[in-house]
Structure 1
Amino acid sequence: MKITGYRSLATVHDWGRPIGDANGVLAGGLTDLPVLLLETDGGLTGVGLGQHADIERVFPAVENEDPRAVTALYDRMLASVFKSGHGGATFGAIAAVDMALWDLKAKMAGEPLWRTLGARDRVVPGYASALCMGLDDEQLAAEYGRWAQRGFTSAKIKGGRDIDADIRRLKLVEEILKANTSRPAMMLDVNETWSLKQAIRHISEIERQMDLTWIEEPLRRWDAEGHARISRAVKAAVATGENLTGLEQFAPLFEAGAVDVVQTGSVWGITHFLRVAAAAHAHNLPVSPVAFSANPVAHAAAATPNMLSIEVQSFDMPLGLTVDQVIEEGALVLGDSPGLGIEVDEAAIRANRLNGDWTKPEGPHVRPLRAGLRLAPERRA
């Protein structure tokens, strides 16, 4: 079987509520999701999710190749762009192709990807994460109440702008999850919006009032020395890495002792996750993939020995996608459908007239001008 072409679609994920973080909030809660369909001469189609604007640059590296050679083709794609670099949009395109290749490999074997990758158990432990910066306290409680009903015992909230509000909201969600455990695991994600000393002051204040499992992305993604200083100064684990594109970008964090929970962005693909997870395992560190629509990296997470917990953000799937997985008992439970278990209704997607707004200037993907430069809380909730 050979790879012969590709098709691109664009669907939307309707969250049904505001979503956002310390960088910004999307009140409409509607985001775009690009879908890549990798075609073969054998009648099978591979599904890859995520931004792939640079697909024309990387596709020649896999055209007419056997899709079962996934990791070799991944390196072939990297090699094809090495002069100009593989970061950003290019890495996203490589990731989408990589995801589709793994989907094809498992489909050719007639089994779910978690089986192909050697997992013994289809159940992937998770934690609740509602992208909740745009919710008031009442809405926050209602949202995490839904997660408690699904058996979750750990949760992450968004914060970083108002330490008093962060503590109040962490305690609020903690109390809700006590329906399932006496000591819920609570995490705070500030999405790179603090300075070093601000981070240490704020985390220390939280720890005077409650147990914090981890602090996520307290500083800019490349600041290995700063993350190491935070890790030494506080009890909470430092979690970071979701925005790093390539295994080599994790090396400074490992060398500096700057990361306690190694994160990878699910949007960066399956091979990237597997390689980072292996490197983390060599450093005796747990790995935790950051969420993405349809949770495709969960299959790889199921086969990873140092897997801690996967971020789960939504019970709903994007328009036109049916995914063979369920969320229950605080976990993702993967099904038996071949490949990633993602079915694409192309007619429904093509008929869609909605547009997401993930990259609007007020949204969480655009860094505010004063991020990391605030002396006092910007607002009080």
Structure 2
Amino acid sequence: MKITGYRTLTAQHHWKRSIGDANGHIPEAVTEVPIVILETDIGLEGVGIGSHADLERLFPALEGEDPRGAAALFDRMLAQVFKSGHAGATYGGLATFDAAVWDLKAKAAGEPLWRLLGGRDRFVPGYASGLDIALDDDELVGFYAEFAERGFVAGKLKGGIDFDADLRRLGILADALRGNTTRPGLMLDANESWQVKQAVRYVTALEEHVDLLWVEEPLRRWDATGHARLSNGIRAAVATGENLTGVDQFRPLFDAGAPDVVQAGAIWGVSHLHRLALAAAARDLPISPVGYNANPAVAHVMTAVPNHLTTEVQDVRFADGLLVDHEFADGGIVLSDEPGAGIRIDEALITEQRDGGGWADPAGPHMRPMRAGLRVVLDGVER
């Protein structure tokens, strides 16, 4: 079996709600979901989800290769962009190809990806995450109630700019999940909107009222020393890493003792997540992928590593034309038993259903505010 080509599609996820964080939000959000389909000389196809960045530059590393050498092909793609570097957007395209290669490998073996990777159980513990900073209190109740009905016991709130609102909303989140547990797991995600002392003051004040499991991305992603200082100053764990591209970028954080929970963005693919999980395990650190809906294949990896904590689930629905054979029950994700990653594509539906805007709306969460981290008073109003 040889890889002969690829094609791309862009599906759209209609969230049917506003999504965003401390950096902004998109009302009635519609976001783009890049899809890559790898083709082979025997007609078998592999699906990867995540990014279309630099695919043309990366593909020569895969063309004519046997996809069953998935781990080696990941390194071959890294070597292909050695001079220009793999960080940033390029890593997204590389990892999406990687996910498609692993899907092919599992299909060729006639096994679900979780089994091929060495997993014993197809259940993956998860937590609910509404990307919810723009939801009003009633909408917040409705979102987390749906996850509570599916057995979820933990949830993550977007916040970090309005203390009183965060405290109230954390109470709403806890109440929504309390039907399944007497001690809901509560997390707060500040999306890099604080400086170190802002974070210490904010989280310490919250901890007078709330038992936080972790605070996520409190500081800029590269601030290894700051994250370590913060971890020493609060009770909650510090979780970070989702925007780092490549295990090598975690080295300064590991050396500083910065992360208490190691995170990885789902868009960065199967091989990256597997290697990062083992690097974290060697340091007795748990791992928690974010953005499962952006690449459901990563959940398979979590069945085969010793240190998976919980995986972020942002919706129980996927993009139009993206058919994912996973279920949400018992507080987590139940993976498919079909060969591959359990992802199928309805190309006609994807083409027909395109409408609306995209994730890169200037008012949305991918545009960092100019005054982020410089607000004197964190009450939601710029002074």
**Cα distance in 2 between the residues matched to 1:21 and 1:189:** 8
Taking the aligned partners of 2:131 and 2:285, their CA distance within structure 1 comes to: 25
- Residue type of the alignment partner of 2:321: G
Match for residue 118 of structure 1? 118
Is contact 1:22-1:193 (8 Å) kept? yes
SS at match of 1:227: helix
Match of 1:365 in 2: 366
Identity %: 57
Compute the displacement of 1:50 (Å): 1.2
- The AA in structure 2 aligned to 1:340 is A
**Contact 1:32/1:355, CA 8 A, preserved across alignment:** no
> 5 Å matches for 1:6-85?
6-85=6-85
The match for 2:273 is 273
Residues 33 and 318 in structure 1, CA contact (< 8 A), matched pair in contact too = yes
- In structure 1, the partner of 2:168 is 168
TM-score, structure 1 normalization: 0.98
User: Which is further off, 354-363 or 52-61?
Assistant: 354-363
Unaligned 5+ runs, structure 1: none
**Secondary structure, aligned partner of 2:78:** helix
Q: Secondary structure at the match of 1:360?
A: coil
Cross-structure match for 1:253: 253
Paired residue secondary structure (1:168)? helix
Q: Distance in 2 between matches of 1:292 and 1:363?
A: 20
Q: Corresponding residue for 1:337?
A: 338
Partner residue in 2 for 1:188: 188
1:349 aligns with 2:350: yes
Partner of 2:302: 301
Aligned counterparts of 1:239 and 1:295: Cα–Cα separation in 2? 21
Corresponding letter in the other structure for 1:224 = A
SS at match of 2:208: helix
Matched, 1:201 2:201: yes
Contact kept in structure 2, 1:299 and 1:340, CA below 8 Å: yes
> Alpha-carbon deviation of 1:355?
4.0
SS in 2 for 1:20: strand
Q: CA deviation at 1:378?
A: 4.8
Could you tell me how far apart the structure 2 residues matched to 1:232 and 1:242 are?
Answer: 21
Opposite residue 60 of structure 1, the aligned amino acid is: P
**Residues 82-231 of structure 1: matches in 2 within 5 Å?**
82-231=82-231
CA deviations on 1:89-137 (whole Å, 9 max, x unpaired) are 1101101100000000000001110010010000000011011011011
Q: CA deviation at 1:164?
A: 1.2
- The 8 Å contact of residues 12 and 356 in structure 1, kept in 2 or not, is answered as no
Following the alignment from structure 1 to structure 2, what is the Cα–Cα distance between the partners of residues 360 and 309? 30
Query: How far did 1:172 drift?
Result: 1.3
- 1:155-200 Cα shifts (integer Å, max 9, x gaps): 1000011111111111111122111100011000010000110000
Consecutive unaligned residues in structure 2, runs of 5 or more: none
Q: 2-side partners of 1:298 and 1:361: how far apart?
A: 31
1:270 shift after superposition = 0.6
Partner of 2:241: 241
Partners of 1:231 and 1:258 within 8 A in 2: yes
Which residue of the partner structure matches residue 292 of structure 1? 292
Partner SS for 1:201: helix
**3-state SS, counterpart of residue 175 of structure 2:** helix
Letter of the structure 2 residue corresponding to residue 331 of structure 1: G
Instruction: State the Cα distance separating 1:379 from its structure 2 match.
Output: 2.6
Instruction: Please tell me whether the aligned partners of residues 292 and 311 of structure 2 are also in contact (alpha carbons under 8 angstroms).
Output: no
Alpha-carbon contact 2:262-2:285 (below 8 Å) kept: yes
Alpha-carbon deviation of 1:324?
1.0
- Deviation digits for residues 358-381 of structure 1 (CA, Å, limit 9, x no counterpart): 01111111111111110113537x
Residues of 1 paired with 2:380 and 2:94: CA distance? 40
Aligned residues: 380
Q: Which moved more, 1:144-153 or 1:221-230?
A: 144-153
In structure 2, distance between residues paired with 1:355 and 1:80 = 36
CA distance in 2, matches of 1:134, 1:357: 17
Could you tell me how far apart the structure 2 residues matched to 1:355 and 1:174 are? 34
Which AA in structure 1 matches 2:54? D
Which residue of structure 2 aligns with residue 5 of structure 1? 5
Q: Is the 8 A contact 1:24 1:363 kept in 2?
A: yes
**Counterpart position of 2:321:** 320
AA aligned to 1:298 is A
Q: Is the 2:113–2:341 contact (alpha carbons within 8 Å) kept by the matching residues of 1?
A: yes
**Equivalent AA in structure 2 for residue 173 of structure 1:** L
Q: Distance in 1 between matches of 2:230 and 2:309?
A: 21
Cα RMSD (Å): 1.0
Opposite residue 296 of structure 2, the aligned amino acid is: N
| DSSP-derived class of the 2:338 partner | coil
Contact 2:292 2:299 in 1 (8 A): no
Q: One-letter code of the match for 1:325?
A: H
Q: CA deviation at 1:302?
A: 1.1
Report runs of 4+ in structure 1 exceeding 4 Å deviation.
Answer: none
Q: CA deviation at 1:143?
A: 1.0
Deviates more, 1:292-301 or 1:73-82: 292-301
Q: CA deviation at 1:28?
A: 2.1
